[in-house]
Amino acid sequence: MAQRLAERGNTHIVATGITPSGEFHIGHLREILTGDMIARAARRAGMDAELVFVVDDADPLRKVYSFLDNAYEGFIGHQIGSIPAPDATGKPDWARFNEEGWTYADHFLHPFLAALKQIGVMPRLLPNLEAYRAGKFSHAARTACDNPEAVREIIERVSGRELPDSWFPWQPLDSQGSLDGLTITGYQFPLVHWTDRHGQSGSSNIEKGEGKLPWRLDWPAKWGFNAITCEPFGKDHGAAGGSYDTGKELAVLFGHQAPVPLTYEWISLRGKGAMSSSSGNTVGPMEALRLVPPEILRFLVANSKPSKAIEFDTGMGLVNLADEFERLAARDLEREMSDETLSRRKRVQLEDAIVALELSTVDETVEHQSTSVSFRHLALLAQIKPDDQSVWHSLQASGSIDQPSAQLQDRLKRMRSWISSSHFPEEMRINICSEPDLEALEQLSNEQRNLIPTLLAAFEEVAWTPEGVTEAFKEVSRRTNAGMREVYRTSYALFMGVERGPRLAPILSNCDRDDVLRLISQAAQS
């Protein structure tokens, strides 16, 4: 994309834009992160590139969503940048609206901007409603209203759908402030005359933004006065006959060039399909950031081709993604690239990995450093160590770290939130018994229960390391002629009260040795 942009000049504005009509979800992050990464790539290539975020707050409220009170029925069709935000009960917060001008759009936009800041994205905001009121759309609006048949011909020919006879390329605000249910009765620049469903008549001044352009015209109009040269967008807009196809012809009519496009696929929730604010099938950015380090969220997008759908999995998929990120960060990829015997396929893989890591850093001026601690191991320690200092002591004792970095401290904080949430995978959840689980032990055969005294003796003799604990299990098998399956079946019942679970050796070696020996001793006597 940077190469394509370089062909059009040295200065670029990369745009993203979303209507803040409800809670943002991490599916929205794909658009803005894709834009951010294009801008970064262009800057790395020596260009002057800026990321902007078009806030589509001139769009109307479409319906009363499930999180809104029925009082919002009266606001359907009203622009979301001009109506009050919902309070905690879903009712219009008139007090804050009148005192601070806090709008419906502000309510949903500001938490999203806070999440973006955490992941290193701080775009310049371009509020659409403000642009309408400032007259920035007036040139495109006049062109469209002066040439409605030319606009109609482009839309009908390119999209393959027929517009109604009453269609007009400007949507005025009615006597109540709604964009819905008007009949256009005439036009003479700068006024569009109308009659509304309430029986009122009036005129809309397009120079003052008393209304808006329909979406298929609004989008290409913004490209012009915002000087946008590149924009990523979802596959729906990029489909044949979609809004980009009509937009690039309308842009020529308005007197400017369409931006270089990049179509991306959706992010879906594992097992639940595409995310949707209206259906409630979402994970919000702030919720995701309580669980996921920001560089891992960036890596989720950076490590996937835009044309590939992403399945966001807050369970084991997150563990695998984070560990892949750490493995890449720990490798000397530049040294590997210097190997002249590399195949072309391997070289491309390394190039992709290097750039994915570069684009995953929150601060583009700082190179990512490996934490030297896998996500799996940190999840283990966070569950069996009650306080952070105990976690750092364990990692220092094993030689994994000298001192915990700020990045690792932040990761542990998010890890504890993830563990306490419903998203944490059950197969990684650790519950070490503080006293014998008699019910679980009763499920064992006599032969299995008889292994416990030998287990105690073996544990008393070995070094308290993962390797030492593993050796103790093997020693029990040698001394009793029991199979390893029987040894582990007994051990899981004894230590966790279950039939099977995560690897015991790294878990037990990070527990207090005296506590473990006391538990085995109590079980041997029960």
When pLDDT is averaged across residues 498-514 and rounded to a whole number, the result is 91
* Separation of alpha carbons 526 and 522, rounded Å: 6
Provide the β-strand partners of residue 13.
50
> Strand 273-274 relative to strand 201-205: parallel, antiparallel, unpaired?
unpaired
pLDDT for the residue numbered 181:
93
Tokens 């308290």 — which residue? 464
CA–CA gap between residue 182 and residue 172 (Å, rounded)? 8
Q: What is the pLDDT of residue 135?
A: 97
Q: Which residue has the tokens 């942009």?
A: 5
Mean pLDDT of 169-188: 97
pLDDT score for 44? 93
The pLDDT of residue 27: 82
DSSP states along 322-337: HHHHHHHHHS-HHHHH
Query: Of the given ranges (64-68, 207-211, 286-290, 338-342), which has the lowest mean pLDDT?
Result: 286-290
Residue 291 has pLDDT above 90, yes or no: no
Q: How far apart are CA 141 and CA 207, in angstroms?
A: 8
Distance CA 242, CA 260 (A): 16
Q: Per-residue pLDDT for 281 more than 90?
A: no
Give the per-residue pLDDT at 367: 80
Estimate to the nearest angstrom the gap between the alpha carbon of 367 and the chain centroid: 22
d(CA 243, CA 236): 8
**Structural Rg of the chain based on CA atoms:** 30
Who contacts 439 (Cβ-Cβ below 8 Å, separation ≥6)? 497
Domains of the chain, earliest start first: 1-274 (3.40.50.620), 292-427 (1.10.10.770), 438-525 (1.10.10.350)
pLDDT, greater one: 455 or 316: 455
Tens-place pLDDT, residues 246-268: 999 999 999 999 999 999 998 88
Give the model's pLDDT for residue 500.
87
Which pLDDT does position 23 carry in this prediction? Answer: 87
pLDDT single digits (tens) 414-436: 999 999 988 888 888 898 999 99
| H/E stretch holding 379 | helix 375-384
**Which pLDDT score, from 0 to 100, does residue 177 have?**
96
Query: For residue 412, is pLDDT > 70?
Result: yes
Mean pLDDT computed over 458-483: 95
| Region 500-514 average pLDDT | 91
Of 508, 516, 526, whose CA–CA distance to 442 is shortest? Answer: 526
Q: How far is CA 516 from the centre of its chain?
A: 41
